[in-house]
């Protein structure tokens, strides 16, 4: 699978920023069909870093309501990628 199609976007939340600074772990939303090996290869190729471990979670869809209309928010697959010791952290917004 193409690395640009495996990694959809980074997750930028307070929790993901905290684990990025403390444990050198970066969170991504990935393609639903991607596995750990494809995620590892995609991160190493796109960002030029060495990956130690990948953990993947399937986030289920959630019911949402807007007024009288009911529906579901889409489910997605999330990956936590731990970089090897001594690797530079991945910065998404540099120089701001």
Q: What is the CATH number of the domain that holds 49?
A: 3.30.70.330
- The pLDDT > 90 percentage for the chain reads 86
What is the domain extent for residue 20? 3-83
* 42 domain-assigned: yes
Model confidence at 39, in pLDDT bands (50, 70, 90)? very high
Our count of domains for the chain comes to: 1
pLDDT at 95 over 80: no
Has residue 90 been placed in a domain?
no
Closest-CA residue to 59 (of 30, 81, 37) = 30
Indicate whether 67 belongs to any domain: yes
pTM of the model: 0.88
The residue written with tokens 């019911």 in the block is 63
pLDDT in tens, 9-26: 999 999 999 999 999 999
Mean pLDDT in residue range 50-75: 96
């Amino acid at each position: 699978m193409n690395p640009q199609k495996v990694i959809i976007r980074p997750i930028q939340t307070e929790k993901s920023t905290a684990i990025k600074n403390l444990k050198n772990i970066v969170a991504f939303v990935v393609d639903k069909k991607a596995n750990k090996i494809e995620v590892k290869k995609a991160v190493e190729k796109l960002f030029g870093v060495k990956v130690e471990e990948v953990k993947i979670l399937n986030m289920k869809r959630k019911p949402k309501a807007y007024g009288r209309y009911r529906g579901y928010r889409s489910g997605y697959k999330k990956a936590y990628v731990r970089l090897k010791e001594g690797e530079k952290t991945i910065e998404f917004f540099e120089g701001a």
